[in-house]
Amino acid sequence: MNDMLTLTTHPSIAEIDPAVWDGLGDGNPFTTHRFLLALEQSGSVGTGTGWQSLHLTVESDGQIVGAAPLYAKGHSQGEYIFDQAWAQAYTRAGGRYYPKLQSAVPFTPATGQRLLARDDTARMALLQGMMQVTGHVQASGAHITFCTEAEAALGEAAGFLPRITQQFHWLNKGYASYDDFLAALSSRKRKDLRKERARAQGFGGTIRHLTGDDLEPRHWDAFWEFYQDTGARKWGQPYLTRKFFDLIQETMRDDILLVLAEQDGEPIAGALNFIGPDAIYGRYWGCTEDHAFLHFELCYHQAIDQAIAHGLSRVEAGAQGDHKLARGYEPVPIHSLHWVQDAGFLKALENYLDQERDAMGQEIQALADWTPFRKG
C-alpha cells in the first residue's frame, strides 16, 4: 500500500460506490451500503435527528481501501452504550460534550465491523482519521460502539480507551435440533421451556416465517403498527420512519426474517430479524394483543430454531434483558472504544473504565453461573 493515504468525510453514504463499500465489509447486514442508505433516504438519520452522516474513507492511489460508518451526534440516544453521565460530567467541568463523533450503526446494538478494510494499516488510518476529524468539526471526542474484539485491541493501540459492557447471545454448540439444545439444559429448565413453548404456541393462531418475496406491503403495515406501539412505550417515539421499512423491503428482503403470529389470517404480533452470514439478529418486536409467553416464542425460541436449521453460530437478540438467561442465552462481553480531546477528562475516563471493566468481568462471570445448562 502506498504510504500516502487520503482521508475523506462524506455527508451521505450515497457518495460512495456500494460495491466498493460492501467489498470492504464481511457481509454483516447492518454495515451494508443498502442498510445505511435506507436510514438516510428514509429520514431516520439526518437533519433534525441528532445523527448527521459523516462517513469516513481512506484512499490509497485513488482507491478506497478503508471505510467507517461515522456520525456527528447531537445527543446520546439510540446508541445502547450509555455515556450520558460522561456528558453531564463534561458539562459540569466547563466543556461541551456535543457534538461528538460516533462510529456505529444507528439504533442497532449488534456487534460487527466498524473499520471496514482488508488490512490493519487501513484500519489504523481510520482510527487516526477519526481523531483528526474530531478536531476539524470541533467535537468533544470519538466513540466506536459494538465493534469487534480485534478492532478494540487495535483501537487501544491507537490511543482509544476500551470499554466492556455485556449482552445475552444464544450460542450454537453444534445442535442438530431444538431438542438437542434442550438436552444440554438441566432437567427442570428443560421442562420449563417445553411448557413455555407449548403455552405460547397455543395462543389460538399460527406462526409464520416470512422472508424474501414472501414479504408483502400488508405485512409491513402490520409490523409498523407493532413497532410504533413498542417504540412509544420504550423510547417515547420510534427512531425509524415508515419509509425505512419500505426501503428495506426493496433492497434487503432476502436479509430479513419476519416472524408473525396470526389469528384468522390477521397479524397480532411480530418479531423482525436480520440474517447475517453467521448469525441471526433480533431487532424489533411488537403486538396488538397480549398472549402468555408469545414474546419469548417469537423473539427467542423461533430465532434459535432458525439458527439451528441454517447452521448459524449465534443469535443476537438485542440489548439488555436478564430474562434471556433462562432461555439459554449466555452473557458475552461487548466491546467499544472511546476517546476525548481533553487530556484531563481522558485520564479521568481511563480510571473509570479500568474499574468498570473489572466490575463487568465479575458480573459476566456471575451471570454465567446462572445459565440453565447442566453443570459439569
Write out the three cell numbers for 254. 432476502
- Alpha helix (H) residue ranges in the chain: 18-24, 33-41, 84-92, 120-136, 149-158, 178-182, 187-201, 217-234, 242-252, 294-296, 302-309, 343-368
* Amino acid identity at 30: F
Q: In whole angstroms, what is the distance from residue 117 CA to residue 69 CA?
A: 12
Residue carrying the nine cell digits 461528538 = 100
Q: In whole angstroms, what is the distance from residue 346 CA to residue 339 CA?
A: 7
Per-residue pLDDT tens digits for 328-347: 999 999 999 999 999 999 99
Return the DSSP state at 297.
I
Superfamily of domain 173-312: Gcn5-related N-acetyltransferase (GNAT) (3.40.630.30)
Which pTM does this prediction carry? 0.96
* Amino acid identity at 275: I
Write out the three cell numbers for 268. 397480532
* Amino acid identity at 195: K
Is residue 29 within 8 A of residue 275, CB to CB? The reply is yes
Half-sphere exposure of 63 (CA within 13 A, CB side): 11
Per-residue pLDDT tens digits for 218-268: 999 999 999 988 766 665 678 999 999 999 999 999 999 999 999 999 999
As a whole-number percent, the residues of the chain with pLDDT over 90 amount to: 94
* Domain 5-166+333-368, CATH class in plain words: alpha beta
User: Which of 259, 293, 297, 260 lies closest to 275, judged by CA?
Assistant: 259
Per-residue pLDDT tens digits for 147-157: 999 999 999 99
User: Which of 25, 83, 108 lies closest to 337, judged by CA?
Assistant: 83
The domains of the chain are located at: 5-166+333-368, 173-312
User: Which of 366, 19, 373, 360 lies closest to 163, judged by CA?
Assistant: 360
Map residue 245 onto helix, strand or coil.
helix
pLDDT at 232: 63
Torsion of CA 87, 88, 94, 99, to 10 degrees: 30
Half-sphere exposure of 170 (CA within 13 A, CB side): 32
pLDDT at 229: 80
What's the alpha-carbon Rg for the chain, to the nearest Å? 21
The mean of the pLDDT values for the chain is 96
Per-residue pLDDT tens digits for 114-153: 999 999 999 999 999 999 999 999 999 999 999 999 999 9
Write out the three cell numbers for 241. 420512519
Map residue 82 onto helix, strand or coil.
coil
Q: Please provide the DSSP assignment of 177-239 as one string.
A: SHHHHHTTB-HHHHHHHHHHHHHHHTSSSEEEEE-GGG--HHHHHHHHHHHHHHHHHHTSS-S
Reply yes or no on whether the pLDDT at 2 is more than 60. no
pLDDT at 231: 63
Map residue 328 onto helix, strand or coil.
coil
Reply yes or no on whether the pLDDT at 1 is more than 60. no
Write out the three cell numbers for 222. 402490520
pLDDT at 3: 67
Per-residue pLDDT tens digits for 155-190: 999 999 999 999 999 999 999 999 999 999 999 999
* Amino acid identity at 226: F
pLDDT at 233: 64
Torsion of CA 291, 293, 299, 303, to 10 degrees: -120
- Say yes or no: do domains 5-166+333-368 and 173-312 share a fold: yes
